[in-house]
Amino acid sequence: CGAAGGDFMALPPGSTAVVSPMGLQLLCETAASTGETRWGRSEPGAWPCLLANGGCEGSCEEFDGAPRCVCPAGKKLGPDGRGCLPPCDGAPCDQHCVPYGESFRCMCAEGYQLGPDGSTCQDVDDCVKIPEVCEQVCHNTEGGFECRCYRGYEMVEGHCMPVPNCSTGPCDHMCEDVPGSYRCSCHSGYVVDTKNPTQCVRQCEDGRCLAECDFSNLSCFCPEGFVTDQLPNGVMLCVDIDECENNYCEHNCTNTLGSYVCHCKPGYVPFNINHCQPIPEDNNVDEFSGDSGPSLPVPSHVPPKAEHLHPGALVGIAMGVLCAALVLLAVGYHLARKRCHPPSSMEYKCGSPREKEMGLQQVSASQKV
């Protein structure tokens, strides 16, 4: 303990010393606040300041012969009357403790208030505050609150907004009111767009679908890869174009709904969307040997959209073909007559040379008679 005297130089912690003239029995102990060894005793308070500073951690003072310990600013005297502790050490505060001189004050977090005992914290009912903290419905929680909306409203960026219904909803075709919202549906031949549930798109699953027509200027439109066609009842349809008939692919072609896919023969790899090139010879032979089957499909661009021919153009083409057929028929008939009736004063049937010879013999015999 660092004590020095004629009988000893130092004592280890836990040692007991008896000071007979003063009637003191001291214990060498370790201070809990600082970890240093000092003299102490079971009785609280200081002893005469001349002996080991009266056991005080701070300063030792005597008033009218009575010693007492004094702690430095910002600390308080401990329960033993000799040690010094921070003001908030052992404070009964429920949440927060704030030093206040040699004492302390208890404080509470936001959403709580200090109770009458000055140490416990009680929840504040935020829903009774004026002005109100919520637009419509307030639900108090421990240390806070939650804002909610009436039925038919929804919370949007901290504000209660009316839930859209069929009177305000942006449905493209048909609308159905459902509890707290709405649902869009489409006319026959259309389906709800998966990317935008308020819009309808044409349902072209079997290669045909209804055309989208603008009746103001009597024009109809089809998706890319489709051409317009009119039924006898006047309904305009979109019919899938078979791009494979136009030989866009160098090797094999597969028609798809609104587009097409090119395939390469064995021993070839795709070069671009429509063409193939031989497999390079420096590649691994084992990798491409044998019948590897057709290569994977290569997505292709959609070819230019075909236009529907005007009925007048179709009539003109049909008349031209008919006229050409009549001309060819007349030419063939003329050639046939020319071959079968050569210029001669004698008339005989067109036949084989043997028949012609027999006819000449009959004429000569008649002339002789």
CA–CA separation, 144 vs 121, rounded Å? 14
- Residue 286 has a pLDDT of 43
Helix, strand or coil for residue 195? coil
16-85: CATH topology is Laminin (2.10.25)
- Ranges of residues in the chain with a pLDDT under 70 are 1-11, 31-35, 169, 180, 205-206, 215, 217, 282-316, 336-369
Cα 33-34-40 angle, rounded to 5 deg: 75
**Does the predicted TM-score (pTM) go above 0.85?**
no
126-162: CATH topology is Laminin (2.10.25)
Contacts of 31-37 spanning 24+ positions with Cβ under 8 A: 31/57, 31/83, 32/83, 33/57, 33/78, 33/83, 33/84, 33/85, 37/1, 37/2, 37/13
Nearest residue to 12 (alpha-carbon basis) of 33, 35, 30: 30
- Residue 67 has a pLDDT of 92
CA–CA separation, 279 vs 289, rounded Å? 11
CATH 2.10.25.10 in the chain, residues? 16-85
